[in-house]
């Protein structure tokens, strides 16, 4: 399919989506996904990685937008910004234990609201974390912030933008399509002028019942010549927690996250996956315990055991996530 799409200028939209997806991964990230997949798919053994392969740190859960499809809409947690000292403590603790392969610096909020973000990225990179990345709505990506991000050592910057202005305006309430476009073009230009290889600058668009192939194609046509990678994702219901805006995701059979991922919220609370926006599955707090203690702790292991046994009715969030039609 990839070959025919390469040779056929009339190739279909799904071929094109496949192509941008396929060639967008950087080699080391392919390795990460392979390991992640293997660990998560060992159905009979269900072994836990001996360290979190993917650590997500919520540098803030404040946001400057009110996107209608965002799981943040159901978040009832207190809002705040992660302290630089807490961030450093976690990185020191983790890199001493074993490095997470992938460090993601967004969760329920807009990372650029935390003005210490560039310093945090630099710290994690200096401590040897292989891949540091985050997603942003890019409204705060002005000249000064772009300069700092480009100098931080970041590996991947993904800008969330919808495929056309109309769709963007409908979903991304409070955003300005033209402003986001200018900010992305500007940081790409600045990166080019500086002769930098990193970060890989990407654009991510969502498919929903409001998008058709023409819209997605318009988005690809706009962004493919400018950025390093165009990613197209189906809108989700965050495991059945929010309204279905037209998800085309297939139902999950098994959870991989609980064996490979850890999410650290701005106040140090730890949960097990990126669907848990209200920390219903809190397994500890990094102010009180080390990453190693939490990762191998009783609460995490109990959740893994329940998954092994298939006793999901004892974990309503996981039950809804794995049984929702649209994950
Ligand atoms: C929750 S946001 C946080 C980071 C940043 N504020 C942003 O918008 O990129 C992370 C990613 O989730 C995506 N997202 C939001 N709602 C979604 C949904 N219902 N289904 C799938 N992805 C969603 C956004 O497009 C963004 O790429
Ligand atoms: S900008 Fe990101 S975090 Fe904020 S509401 Fe939109 S998707 Fe959610």
Top mutation candidate among 62, 65, 77 for ligand 2, by most atoms within 8 Å of CB = 65
C-beta of 247 in contact with ligand 1 (< 6 A): no
Terminal-residue alpha carbon distance, the chain: 26
Backbone angles phi, psi at 323, to 5 degrees: -105, -5
- The confidence score (pLDDT) of residue 24 equals 45
Backbone angles phi, psi at 4, to 5 degrees: -65, -35
- The helix/strand/coil state of 266 is coil
- The confidence score (pLDDT) of residue 299 equals 97
Ligand 1 atom with minimal separation from the 65 CA? 6
C-beta of 106 in contact with ligand 1 (< 6 A): yes
C-beta of 67 in contact with ligand 2 (< 6 A): yes
Between the alpha carbon of residue 146 and those of residues 84, 106, 179, 186, 292, the distances in Å are 20, 17, 14, 8, 35
Lay out the sheet containing 261-264: strands in order across. Answer: 229-234, 200-207, 156-160, 131-136, 102-104, 54-57, 261-264, 269-271, 284-285
Return the beta strands (E) in the chain as ranges. Answer: 54-57, 102-104, 131-136, 156-160, 200-207, 229-234, 261-264, 269-271, 284-285
Rounded Cα–Cα distance for residues 49 and 251 (Å) = 24
Crossing angle of helices 117-126 and 84-97, in 10° steps, is 20
Top mutation candidate among 68, 72, 169, 235 for ligand 2, by most atoms within 8 Å of CB = 72
Ligand 1 atom with minimal separation from the 159 CA? 9
Ligand 1 atom with minimal separation from the 70 CA? 16
Q: pTM for the full model?
A: 0.89
Top mutation candidate among 65, 70, 170, 175 for ligand 1, by most atoms within 8 Å of CB = 70
Q: Cα 141 from chain centroid?
A: 18
Q: Give the closest ligand to the alpha carbon of residue 134.
A: 1
Q: Give the closest ligand to the alpha carbon of residue 235.
A: 1
Rounded Cα–Cα distance for residues 121 and 92 (Å) = 13
Cis check: omega of the bond before 199, within 30 degrees of 0: yes
72: CA distance to ligand 1 center in Å? 9
pLDDT averaged per 10 residues in sequence order, the chain, 327 residues:
35 48 49 58 54 91 97 95 97 81 94 98 94 97 98 97 97 98 98 96 94 92 93 88 85 80 97 94 97 93 90 90 70
Radius of gyration of the chain measured on its C-alpha atoms: 19
Q: Note the residue count of the chain.
A: 327
Taking CA atoms only, the protein residue closest to ligand 1 atom 27 is: 160
Pair 28, 130: CB distance under 8 Å: yes
Place of tokens 């994690």: 124
C-beta of 137 in contact with ligand 1 (< 6 A): yes
- The confidence score (pLDDT) of residue 31 equals 60
C-beta of 91 in contact with ligand 1 (< 6 A): no
Taking CA atoms only, the protein residue closest to ligand 1 atom 7 is: 136
The two tokens of residue 91 are 């990185």
């Amino acid at each position: 399919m990839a070959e025919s799409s390469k040779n056929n200028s009339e190739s279909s939209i799904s071929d094109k989506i496949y192509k941008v997806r396929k060639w967008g991964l950087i080699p080391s990230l392919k390795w990460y996904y392979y390991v992640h997949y293997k660990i998560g798919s060992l159905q009979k053994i269900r072994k836990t990685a001996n360290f979190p392969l993917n650590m997500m740190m919520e540098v803030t859960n404040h946001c400057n937008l009110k996107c209608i499809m965002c799981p943040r809409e159901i978040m009832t947690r207190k809002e705040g910004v992660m302290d630089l000292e807490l961030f450093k403590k976690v990185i020191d603790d983790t890199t001493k234990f074993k490095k997470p392969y992938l460090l993601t610096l967004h969760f329920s909020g807009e990372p650029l609201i935390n003005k210490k973000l560039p310093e945090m990225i630099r710290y994690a990179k200096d401590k040897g974390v292989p891949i540091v990345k985050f997603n942003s709505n890019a409204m705060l990506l002005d000249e000064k912030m772009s300069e700092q991000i480009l100098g931080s050592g970041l590996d991947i910057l993904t800008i969330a933008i919808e495929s056309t202005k109309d769709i963007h305006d409908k979903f991304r309430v409070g955003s300005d399509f033209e402003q986001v476009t200018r900010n992305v073009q500007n940081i790409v230009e600045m990166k080019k002028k500086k002769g930098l290889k990193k970060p890989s600058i990407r654009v991510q668009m969502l498919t929903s019942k409001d998008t058709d192939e023409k819209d997605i194609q318009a988005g690809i046509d706009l962004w493919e010549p400018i950025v390093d990678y165009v990613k197209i994702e189906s809108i989700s219901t965050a495991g059945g927690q929010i309204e279905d805006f037209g998800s085309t995701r297939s139902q999950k059979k098994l959870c991989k996250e609980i064996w490979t991922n850890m999410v650290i919220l701005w106040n140090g609370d730890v949960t097990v996956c990126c669907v848990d926006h209200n920390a219903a599955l809190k397994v500890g707090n990094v102010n009180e315990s080390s990453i190693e203690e939490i990762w191998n702790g009783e609460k995490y292991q109990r959740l893994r055991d329940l998954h092994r046994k298939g006793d999901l009715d004892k974990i309503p969030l996981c039950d809804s996530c794995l049984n929702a039609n649209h994950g």
